Amino acid sequence: MAEGEDMQTFTSIMDALVRISTSMKNMERELLCPVCQEMYKQPLVLPCAHNVCQACAREVLGQQGYGSHAGDPSSEPTSPASTPSTRSPRLGRRTLPKADRLDRLLKSGFGTYPGRKRGALHPQIVTFPCPACQGDVELGERGLNGLFRNLTLERVVERYRQSVSVGGAILCQLCKPPPLEATKGCTECRATFCNECFKLYHPWGTQKAQHEPTLPTLTFRPKGLMCPDHKEEVSHYCKTCQRLVCQLCRVRRTHSGHKITPVLSAYQALKEKLTKSLTYILGNQDTVQTQICELEETVRHTEVSGQQAKEEVAQLVRGLGAVLEEKRATLLQAIDECQQERLARLGAQLQEHRSLLDGSGLVGYAQEVLKETDQPCFVQAAKQLHHRIARATEALQNFRPATSSSFRHCQLDVGREMKLLTELSFLRVPEAPVIDTQRTFAYDQIFLCWRLPPHSPPAWHYTVEFRRTDVPNPPGPTRWQRREEVRGTSALLENPDPGSVYVLRVRGCNKAGYGEYSEDVHLHTPPAPEIHSTAP
């Protein structure tokens, strides 16, 4: 009995682990940067609400041709070796301007102060091509410097790494090779340490000794979300701008008149909305699965329908090609027949002219006939010869080729056909019809008249729908009475209820499917005539 319970407990634990592992694996897609397709590292929140790694964003802006000021957020030291004294010497020697000098700059119109944007004369608005929504997002003049880090997303990534053991153990960043496994992390130093290195870089009696150690991590982030403009912790939320703001942001002119609420109120309201939405989704998992099955079935039907559409288009184009090929053969045959007829006529004319040359058979024969002295015999032989010589003489005097060599009458004008072929496209559904209110009326019958807008594809038939609006509708979708396959552009609805208000609409249909409905038109039928009864 105990072994059976243990086996059941073990099975339930394994099932839970499998579900957790599957859930974590599915969540991994939400933790991948759309640029590098790796887990987020110091993600920034774009104005379009998508996230991108800070390094990836800087690289993308560099490829867009923006300067370093647009894609280089304020850097932070990444290790104890990166201190102000080891960075650029100019930063160490830079001093603030004196008070009178600063006052003169502000009065002369230079510099930045509340109500004035930096570089207002020629501002450079930085745009970022978001790889998630495929849109150009405006980052303003400050570029990436004006974006918040998504610390929550960083924490989720870190928890995911720890749960699936991505990357193995975290090593000390300050050890000499080979490094030991890190046991502590320091947010202020932004580095991981083993025990010995932590003591070495945080000596007793110094300011670093006050640093609070944390668990080792690969991602260091500030304790709180800092305002990118003033480097102060945010404390309020501007509903108008939909942006977190600090105390200094509240007093700026850019937020004057805006609805600003404490972060706690925004936190509670948004958490409540998110919880309700998530509860609704989790409570309708069966509906989600049903819709997934419907979408998968739609995908299959789309693939089949798309293949059928390809085959239909290919068949129609092949049909056009067959018609063109048949027409081509017919036209070429007509040209060939015309050519043969002309060549025959020209050949006969050529032969006739060759017979007129000295030494030809006709001239020699005529010369021999002229030698005949017997008058009756001469008349008999020369009569037929004289007609041939007369025709040849006339042809010689009025020479003209028997036919033209041009085939201009066989030229084709395919401009209209080429235009039709060029404009050959898929059939569109009819546009929404327009009700002709001048010809539409309601009496003892309802006569509805409409027309299609100009340049609308033709409609094979129409569907007219109507219903009464002065009676309570039953629960559920609105019930329309329908008249299908109406030919023409008018319809007659007989025996409407007197003294009622009807709403009507119509839509067209062709081979491409049904078009949009027309605008609703309301018609009021007259009341029934009163019947006066007379007493006997």
pLDDT in tens, 23-68: 666 677 788 888 888 888 888 888 888 898 888 888 888 887 776 4
How far apart (Å, rounded) are the C-alpha atoms in residues 64 and 124? Answer: 13
How far apart (Å, rounded) are the C-alpha atoms in residues 9 and 1? Answer: 12
Please state whether beta strands 236-238 and 260-262 pair in parallel, antiparallel, or not at all (unpaired).
antiparallel
Mean pLDDT of 59-85: 57
How does residue 475 score in pLDDT terms, banded at 50, 70 and 90? low
How does residue 466 score in pLDDT terms, banded at 50, 70 and 90? very high
Regarding whether 39 and 135 lie in a shared domain, the answer is yes
- Higher pLDDT pick, 7 / 533: 7
pLDDT in tens, 168-226: 677 888 888 888 888 888 877 878 889 888 888 888 888 888 888 887 776 666 667 78
- Higher pLDDT pick, 306 / 218: 306
Whether 265 contacts 235, CB under 8 Å: no
Q: Which of 93-97, 154-158, 258-262 has the lowest mean pLDDT?
A: 93-97
Final residue of a structural domain among 376, 398, 420: 398
How far apart (Å, rounded) are the C-alpha atoms in residues 351 and 356? Answer: 9
Rounded to 10 degrees, what is the CA torsion of 60, 62, 64, 70? 100
- Higher pLDDT pick, 194 / 163: 194
On whether residue 234 sits in a domain, the answer given is no
Q: Rounded to an integer, what is the distance from CA 369 to the centroid of its chain?
A: 95
- Higher pLDDT pick, 513 / 235: 513
- Higher pLDDT pick, 11 / 37: 37
How far apart (Å, rounded) are the C-alpha atoms in residues 305 and 318? Answer: 20
Regarding whether 60 and 142 lie in a shared domain, the answer is yes
How far apart (Å, rounded) are the C-alpha atoms in residues 449 and 501? Answer: 18
On whether residue 275 sits in a domain, the answer given is no
On whether residue 469 sits in a domain, the answer given is yes
What one-character DSSP code corresponds to residue 50?
Answer: -
Q: Residue 478, CB half-sphere, CA atoms under 13 Å: how many?
A: 10
Final residue of a structural domain among 374, 398, 422: 398
Please tell me which of 53-62, 114-123, 429-438 the model is most confident about, judged by mean pLDDT.
Answer: 429-438
Per-residue pLDDT at 536 exceeds 60: no
Final residue of a structural domain among 148, 166, 184: 166
Q: For residue 435, what is the enclosing H or E element?
A: strand 434-435
Mean pLDDT of 362-371: 77
Position 425 scores a pLDDT of 83
Regarding whether 360 and 481 lie in a shared domain, the answer is no
Position 112 scores a pLDDT of 42
Q: Residue 257, CB half-sphere, CA atoms under 13 Å: how many?
A: 2
Position 293 scores a pLDDT of 93
Regarding whether 316 and 387 lie in a shared domain, the answer is yes
Among 57, 49, 68, residue whose Cα is nearest residue 33: 57
3-state class percentages of the chain: helix first, strand second, coil last, to nearest 5: 45, 15, 40
In one-letter notation, the amino acid at residue 186 is: C
Position 465 scores a pLDDT of 94
How far apart (Å, rounded) are the C-alpha atoms in residues 455 and 523? Answer: 29
How far apart (Å, rounded) are the C-alpha atoms in residues 352 and 304? Answer: 72
On whether residue 97 sits in a domain, the answer given is no
Regarding whether 492 and 377 lie in a shared domain, the answer is no
Per-residue pLDDT at 105 exceeds 60: no
Q: Which of 301-305, 349-353, 445-449, 505-509 has the lowest mean pLDDT?
A: 349-353
- Higher pLDDT pick, 486 / 252: 486
The share of the chain scoring above pLDDT 70, in percent, equals 78
Regarding whether 36 and 144 lie in a shared domain, the answer is yes
Position 459 scores a pLDDT of 95
How does residue 114 score in pLDDT terms, banded at 50, 70 and 90? very low
pLDDT in tens, 309-341: 899 899 999 999 999 999 999 999 999 999 999
* Angle, CA 99 vertex, CA 95 and CA 104 arms, to 5°: 110
Per-residue pLDDT at 10 exceeds 50: yes
Regarding whether 478 and 392 lie in a shared domain, the answer is no
CA distance from start to end of the chain: 99
Among 251, 253, 219, 215, residue whose Cα is nearest residue 236: 251
Neighbours of 452 (CB within 10 A): 19
In this structure, which long-range contacts are made by residues 352-361, counting pairs with CB atoms below 8 Å and at least 24 apart in sequence? 352/391, 352/392, 352/395, 353/392, 353/395, 353/396, 355/392, 356/392, 356/396
How does residue 237 score in pLDDT terms, banded at 50, 70 and 90? confident
Domain with 508 in it: what CATH number?
2.60.40.10
Position 311 scores a pLDDT of 93
Per-residue pLDDT at 389 exceeds 90: no
- Higher pLDDT pick, 6 / 235: 235
How does residue 522 score in pLDDT terms, banded at 50, 70 and 90? very high
Helices (H), ranges, 284-409: 285-354, 361-370, 375-397
Q: Which residue has the tokens 């001093």?
A: 95
Position 152 scores a pLDDT of 81
Kindly report the average pLDDT of the chain as a whole number. Answer: 78
Per-residue pLDDT at 229 exceeds 70: yes
| Range of the structural domain that residue 309 is part of | 290-398
Q: DSSP 3-state assignment of 433?
A: coil
Position 427 scores a pLDDT of 86
How far apart (Å, rounded) are the C-alpha atoms in residues 511 and 508? Answer: 11
How does residue 510 score in pLDDT terms, banded at 50, 70 and 90? very high
Per-residue pLDDT at 514 exceeds 90: yes
Per-residue pLDDT at 18 exceeds 80: no
On whether residue 260 sits in a domain, the answer given is no
Count of structural domains within the chain = 3
Regarding whether 467 and 359 lie in a shared domain, the answer is no
**Cβ-count burial of 145 within 10 angstroms (0-12 exposed, 13-18 middle, 19+ buried)?**
middle
Count of residues in the chain: 536
How does residue 450 score in pLDDT terms, banded at 50, 70 and 90? very high
Per-residue pLDDT at 117 exceeds 50: no
Q: Max Cα separation, the chain? A: 160
On whether residue 343 sits in a domain, the answer given is yes
Q: Which residue has the tokens 């299908």?
A: 484
Regarding whether 462 and 363 lie in a shared domain, the answer is no
How does residue 5 score in pLDDT terms, banded at 50, 70 and 90? low
Among 493, 439, 495, residue whose Cα is nearest residue 464: 493
Mean pLDDT of 92-117: 41
Regarding whether 386 and 323 lie in a shared domain, the answer is yes
Q: Rounded to an integer, what is the distance from CA 134 to the centroid of its chain?
A: 9
Task: Provide the token pair at 466.
Answer: 């109507």
On whether residue 219 sits in a domain, the answer given is no
Rg (CA), the chain: 47
Regarding whether 469 and 391 lie in a shared domain, the answer is no
pLDDT in tens, 84-104: 333 333 333 334 444 444 344
On whether residue 251 sits in a domain, the answer given is no
**SS3 assignment for 164-175:** HCCCCCCECCCC
Domain with 51 in it: what CATH number?
3.30.40.10
Regarding whether 149 and 59 lie in a shared domain, the answer is yes
